[in-house]
């Protein structure tokens, strides 16, 4: 039992730093996010920006939001979206012609890493 407690407490402490390193965001995608996405979604993905609040942008860090599929993320980024939600007009431009497919893939990974 005691060794289990030891494992539970100390093993994560040893491994967490290396995991954190492995998940450090790709600097190019990080720049892309800050330049093209963060004005609405916020640097942290919470949507707590002036624009984000106006359009009731959702909190991408929440586990409920993260239930979205990778394909849906890509489709919305590529094709943009325009919808009414609870009387709020939500609009995002289509990025297909502005981003390469590998940049969109990078953004999916980036968005996944925002999860709480
Ligand atoms: C002009 C503001 C604005 C910008 C800039 C913007 N978005 Fe959005 N985005 C929105 C709005 C509004 C929504 C719809 C509300 C929501 O789902 O939070 C949305 C929704 C999304 C969704 C969820 C789509 C869905 O199907 O529910 C994803 C993923 C997303 N944006 C990614 C991005 C990425 C990646 C970028 C940068 C390349 C970006 N957005 C830039 C406004 C913006």
**Predicted TM-score of the model (pTM):** 0.85
Position with higher pLDDT, 15 vs 98: 98
CA distances from 101 to 24, 28, 43, 51, 74 (A): 21, 14, 22, 26, 9
User: Is ligand 1 within 6 A of the CB of residue 72?
Assistant: yes
| pLDDT of 36 over the 70 cut | yes
pLDDT over 70 percentage in the chain:
80
Q: Which tens digit of pLDDT belongs to each residue from 43-96?
A: 999 999 999 999 999 999 999 999 999 999 999 999 999 999 999 999 999 999
User: Is ligand 1 within 6 A of the CB of residue 36?
Assistant: yes
| Domains of the chain: residue spans and CATH | 26-112 (1.10.760.10)
User: Is ligand 1 within 6 A of the CB of residue 114?
Assistant: no
């Amino acid at each position: 039992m005691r060794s289990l407690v030891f494992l539970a407490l100390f093993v994560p402490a040893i491994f967490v730093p290396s995991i954190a390193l492995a998940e450090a965001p790709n600097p190019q995608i990080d720049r892309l996010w800050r330049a093209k996405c963060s004005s609405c979604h916020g640097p942290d993905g919470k949507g707590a920006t002036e624009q984000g609040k106006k359009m009731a942008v959702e909190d991408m860090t929440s586990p409920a939001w993260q239930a979205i599929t990778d394909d849906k993320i890509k489709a919305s980024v590529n094709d943009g979206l325009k919808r009414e939600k609870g009387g709020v007009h939500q609009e995002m431009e289509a990025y297909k012609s502005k981003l390469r497919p590998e940049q969109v893939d990078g953004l999916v990974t980036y968005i996944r890493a925002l999860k709480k």
